[in-house]
Amino acid sequence: MRIGLVAGGLGAYWPQFPDLLPQLQRSAARVSERMRTFGCEVVDVGFISDAQEGAAAAERLRAAGCDLIVGFLTTYMTATMLLPVAQRSGAPVLLINLQPTEAMDHDSFDTGQWLAYCGACPLPEMANTFTRAGIPFRSVSGYLEDERAWARIERWVKAAGVRAALRHGRHGLMGHLYPGMLDVSTDLTLVPANFGGHVEVLEFDDLRVRVEKVTEAETAARAREAAEIFDVDASVVDEDFNWAAKVSVGLDRLVADFELDSLAYYHRGLEGEVHERLGAGMILGASLLTARGVPAAGEYELRTSLAMLIMDRLGAGGSFTELQALDFLRGHVEMGHDGPAHLAISAKRPLLRGLGVYHGKRGWGVSVEFDVAHGPVTAFGLLQRRDGRFGFVASEGVTVDGPHLKIGNTTSRVDFGRDPGEWTDAWSATGISHHWALGTGHRVAELRALADLLDVELVEVTA
């Protein structure tokens, strides 16, 4: 992620108040330092004092290809100094106004010292100009060491990072639609149209040829790795475990060869032939990929693999999820899936269970049983509107303890703070599809920032 940073103030002040510019430049250096703590590359084009310097900064930032432009209003500056930066960069714009401290010392300050606190002064001017120029913007006001303000700034930076991941992402779609699931079908053109990025259409034969080249030694090494990560239930058949390990190695090669950032897949297959066995052997490898930041979703659910990617890049994990049952005695919504999980957010050591039947699917093998870490969580999915626009839907709740079925599912119990039946009706009424991502933490504020940068609607289902 690359953040462009430009600070500025009105050059007419510098000869009038000689101490002002050095003070503002120190503030700008502090902002640059704090920005780098967010794990991003900062393209700092320095301090501008007039329209000519603003135009030069605009060209440097345009050439840098930034994911977010941050304009630091250190004191009054004219809109003509920053407008070219916003116009030419092609990136979202964040204006920040961080005065030196919480408040001025009114009894001792002179005009020059006051001007160092005057970053709020040009903000309405910038807002008016950007609005008239058709340039969306957002702003954060506070003081230099204001942690609340920095938390809001970090939220925008993280959102810009997710936007960049979507813009540059390569998303695999392998196999075919689960027959009859109309909600899951996605017009592939809508992904680059809404978010950018690329959808790579894959065949299960792309996986088959890679699995065929996996050696016995590689299979054994992956099986040992899985045994270190999972508890392996006695129901797991050695032959099925080794097949899942072999498929996992092949999956890794598929992802590397096609440079994938996410994967959605499904294949039915027939009567035990290799494609059926590949489809049935995906769960272990898909879970390991998801835990490493390459989300893999079953049932050809492309929009959910994208939702999982978004949650992962926000640091929330994001596990493949659907409704499973409602517990009206305890007030919980039980949700999860019969398949891949985000192992990095498991409440405890995940379990591999052997299944002779995958309900509703062909084949047999091993499946993952786990529960998302207990505490605050966010259910998050992508909407596809009738007009072809994507949207977000999210709901914050808490994962809690309780009884779980032992059937190889990734079930979590979520308390959304309201009757589970009412929540389910409200969630379904948004137009969400069959699946979504369940991630750790309350993430609506971060998702709202991302929705702003992507110009998509966010629908929140609340208690």
Domain limits, the chain: 2-159, 169-460
Report the run of H or E that residue 307 belongs to, with start and end: helix 302-313
- Asked if 277 contacts 363 with a C-beta cutoff of 8 angstroms, the reply is yes
Alpha-carbon distances, residue 351 vs 249, 279, 283 (angstroms) = 20, 20, 12
Q: How many residues are given for the chain?
A: 463
- Asked if 391 contacts 310 with a C-beta cutoff of 8 angstroms, the reply is no
Strands (E), 74-227: 93-99, 138-143, 170-175, 198-202
First to last CA, the chain: 35
**Token pair for 287:** 């879970």
CATH of 169-460, one of 3.20.14, 2.60.40, 1.10.8, 3.30.310: 3.20.14
Cα(283)–Cα(230) distance, integer angstroms: 13
**Token pair for 204:** 């299960």
Residue type present at position 277:
R
The neighbouring-strand residues paired with 73 are: 8
- Asked if 301 contacts 434 with a C-beta cutoff of 8 angstroms, the reply is yes
- Residue 390, phi then psi, degrees to nearest 5: -85, 155
pLDDT by position in tens, the chain (length 463)? 999 999 999 999 999 999 999 999 999 999 999 999 999 999 999 999 999 999 999 999 999 999 999 999 999 999 999 999 999 998 999 999 999 999 999 999 999 999 999 999 999 999 999 999 999 999 999 999 999 999 999 999 999 999 999 999 999 999 999 888 888 888 899 999 999 999 999 999 999 999 999 999 999 999 999 999 999 999 999 999 999 999 999 999 999 999 999 999 999 888 889 999 999 999 999 999 999 999 999 999 999 999 999 999 999 999 999 999 999 999 999 999 987 899 999 999 999 999 877 776 777 789 999 999 999 999 999 999 999 999 999 999 999 999 999 998 899 999 999 999 999 999 999 999 999 999 999 999 999 999 999 999 999 999 9
Which residue, among 269, 303, 299, has the nearest Cα to 286 in the 3D structure? Answer: 299
Q: Architecture of domain 2-159 in CATH?
A: 3-Layer(aba) Sandwich (3.40)
Q: How far does Cα 337 stand from its chain's mean position?
A: 20
Alpha-carbon distances, residue 194 vs 127, 166, 254, 316 (angstroms) = 26, 10, 26, 22
pLDDT of amino acid 269: 84
Residue type present at position 4:
G
Using a 10 angstrom Cβ sphere, with 0-12 exposed, 13-18 middle and 19 or more buried, the burial of residue 215 is exposed
Cα(124)–Cα(292) distance, integer angstroms: 44
pLDDT of amino acid 360: 66
pLDDT of amino acid 272: 83
pLDDT of amino acid 361: 74
Per the rule left: phi > 0, alpha: psi between -120 and 50, beta: everything else, 65 is: left
